Structure 1
Amino acid sequence: MAEIREVLESKEMADVIKAIDALKRKYGAQYDRGQLQQNDAEHLWPMALTRIGKYKPDVVLKLLLDDHEYYPGYKAILAAGFGGWLIAPHSKEIREALVAQAAVMHMDKAEILAGFDTPFTVEKDIAARYLFTGTEFLVEVYDCLGGYRAFGEAPSFDELWDAFDSVEKTINTAARAIAYLHHAADRFGKPGIPFVPSLNKAVLVLDQLKDKNPSYPYKEKFVSRSLLHERWSQNKQTLALLYAASSIRINRKTLLQIILEGLLSYDDHKDYLQMWVSRARYVSSHIFERMNDPELGTKTLRILGEGKAVSFPPPKLDDEELKSFSTIFRNFIKR
């Protein structure tokens, strides 16, 4: 049996590498590598952005929104990590689980493209690895995650998410609270009406629902005041994006539901990204900037950056919500 060094340095191996390079030039995806080397290329490796130091959602979102084509799978990894940050901003484990899930999906797609649904051949394996998965992906994602063993040993997103008790319901409660403020800003945020939206006003609508409508399924839909305040105060930079995601329907689900299920996908949802961020900017300017909380708007725009804001209507309120809303805001309604 030859030593591995002899194999790696052999003429035959050099011929293989030369042939693979020729295949990549002729059939591989074309992308703009230079865009990833503006400063230090290593810092723009997707796994570095996912797990090294403090997560930088502003950098990731800017990359997701740009028009550049990077190597296959690059933005898929960034989008998965971004979705994890949105729902659990302080959990690196959630981000990494979703990134690993996205990596597996990328490699599965590569195998499908290479024809792995029919009997295995070396030719198909080469095409799957070096043309469709891509060398850069293998180096910057697969290897950085820990290779084959890491995928077998890492906990799944579903396993980790089950431990985040009430987080999904808390996020949905926060989105609904913003919806009440959205309705209020549309109706009362006009010249001459001194209306200042606040979380406390939205909470009063929720309290009215709970206290005055015993038959309303409050506990099934919403969390306590304390959990809502905690989510709001500790994750301000995510609120506009979460609420904007709840306003976008994709088939029979909202984008927020897709994110909460750990299924945000660049390939599947890239056509909605600009709309999503533009709506989030509108939330910041139309609602958050009216509130007595400068930090809320500052943190939001730090993530979203400058750009177009696109208005959208708030969701419809059911009859009981409408009654509670009218009771809490009756002084403004009379104006």
Structure 2
Amino acid sequence: MANLDEILESKEMADVVRAIEALKQKYGPSTSPKGDLQSAAKEHLWPVALTLVGTYKADVVLRILLDDNAYYPGYKSILAAGFGGWLIAPRSKKIREALAIQAAAAHINNAEVQAGFDEPFTVRKDVAARYLFIGTEFMVEIYDCFGGSQALADAPSFEELWDAFESVEKTINTAARAIAYLHHAADRFGKPGFPFVPSLNKAVQVLDQLKDKNPTYPYKEKFVSRSLLHQRWSQNKQTLALLYAASSIRINRKTLLQIILDGFLSYDDHKDYLQMWVSRARYVSTHIFDRMNDPELSSKTLRLLGEGKAISFSPPKLDDKEAESFSVIFRNFIKN
């Protein structure tokens, strides 16, 4: 049998490469209504490096997800998955990696389905899947950088890793509910000239009132302790506006926040919601956070979200017990 070098340098291999390049030129995603793939590809940052190497640059990733540049198939899918992992576990590279690998495997699987792999295998289908639907750039910059098929197969699942984070999901939901109380307060008492400054302490007082005065309320099932809430708030300020804004967006029967917490944020499935999501988060920053005596909260949020359109939205409805607790804590403002 011929050695590898002989095979790679053969005329037959050269003919195969030329044929594949011709296929890519004719049928590949070389252009897009939203931009030129080739020009974008010359300057883009490699997604695995952005997701896993060094300090995670969430602001850079978010700009790419929001831009109109055309990248190769799968590029933004990896970035979106990693971004979702960063939002819920900012200090865990393993969570980002698991979700990014999950997105890579999904891209490969979708390409194989698109190429007809659900029916008998053929070389033609394999060529179409690998070089047109998966894409050469994806194979080089993502598949190979992750370590190939063995690395994808051996990677721990998001579910396995997330189980070890115990109360993080409930902590995030508690933080989102605390911001909801401040959202209600800002809507009602945040008019010009009105002496109201929202604060996390006020939101915590609503939670405390709810817990202390309503012994039958399922508080422990819904919320975490004051200390866990303060810890999440103080250590992950830049994520709060996006997490709360995600809780306000419903996609079918779930909120975007629940989709993210389940590890299913997908660029292909959710790209139509990205601009609204970020615009709502900017509204949270200007309408609520900018009124608070916490310059770091505002500055970190702005650094992540950048300048742009802010879209107002209504806070979620409070249940009867929450509304009662809210009224007790904010009664001095209500009387005014």
- What is the TM-score normalised by the length of structure 2? 0.97
Looking at structure 2, the residues matched to 36 and 165 of structure 1 have their Cα atoms a distance apart, in angstroms, of 40
Aligned to 1:179: 180
- My pick for the range that moved more, 299-308 or 24-33, is 24-33
**Residue 36 of structure 1: how far off its partner (Å):** 4.2
Looking at structure 1, the residues matched to 184 and 219 of structure 2 have their Cα atoms a distance apart, in angstroms, of 20
1:26 and 2:26 are equivalent in the alignment: yes
**Residue 9 of structure 1: how far off its partner (Å):** 1.0
Aligned to 1:332: 333
**Residue 258 of structure 1: how far off its partner (Å):** 0.2
Aligned to 1:137: 138
1:163 and 2:164 are equivalent in the alignment: yes
Aligned to 1:266: 267
Q: Tell me, yes or no, if the aligned pair for 2:40 and 2:70 is still in contact at 8 Å.
A: no
Percent identity of the aligned residues?
A: 78
**Residue 209 of structure 1: how far off its partner (Å):** 0.5
Aligned to 2:201: 200
Q: Deviations over 1:243-283 (max 9, x none)?
A: 00000000000000000000000000000000000000000
1:190 and 2:195 are equivalent in the alignment: no
Aligned to 1:111: 112
- My pick for the range that moved more, 6-15 or 201-210, is 6-15
Q: Which amino acid aligns with 2:211?
A: K
Q: Tell me, yes or no, if the aligned pair for 2:81 and 2:100 is still in contact at 8 Å.
A: yes
Structure 2 unpaired stretches of 5+: 32-36
Q: 1:297 to 1:36 in 2, by over 3 A?
A: farther
Aligned to 1:297: 298
- What is the TM-score normalised by the length of structure 1? 0.98
Aligned to 2:321: 320
Looking at structure 2, the residues matched to 288 and 37 of structure 1 have their Cα atoms a distance apart, in angstroms, of 39
**Residue 217 of structure 1: how far off its partner (Å):** 0.2
Aligned to 1:276: 277
1:45 and 2:50 are equivalent in the alignment: no
Aligned to 2:13: 13
**Residue 29 of structure 1: how far off its partner (Å):** 1.0
**Residue 193 of structure 1: how far off its partner (Å):** 1.4
RMSD over equivalenced CA pairs, Å:
0.8
Looking at structure 1, the residues matched to 85 and 198 of structure 2 have their Cα atoms a distance apart, in angstroms, of 29
**Count of residues paired in the alignment:** 331
**Residue 162 of structure 1: how far off its partner (Å):** 0.3
**Residue 34 of structure 1: how far off its partner (Å):** 2.1
- Three-state SS of the structure 1 residue aligned to 2:315 is coil
- Three-state SS of the structure 1 residue aligned to 2:72 is coil
Aligned to 2:34: none
Looking at structure 1, the residues matched to 131 and 246 of structure 2 have their Cα atoms a distance apart, in angstroms, of 36
1:243 and 2:248 are equivalent in the alignment: no
Structure 1 unpaired stretches of 5+: none
Aligned to 2:2: 2
Q: Which amino acid aligns with 1:35?
A: A
Q: Which amino acid aligns with 1:212?
A: K
Aligned to 1:127: 128
Q: Tell me, yes or no, if the aligned pair for 2:65 and 2:76 is still in contact at 8 Å.
A: yes
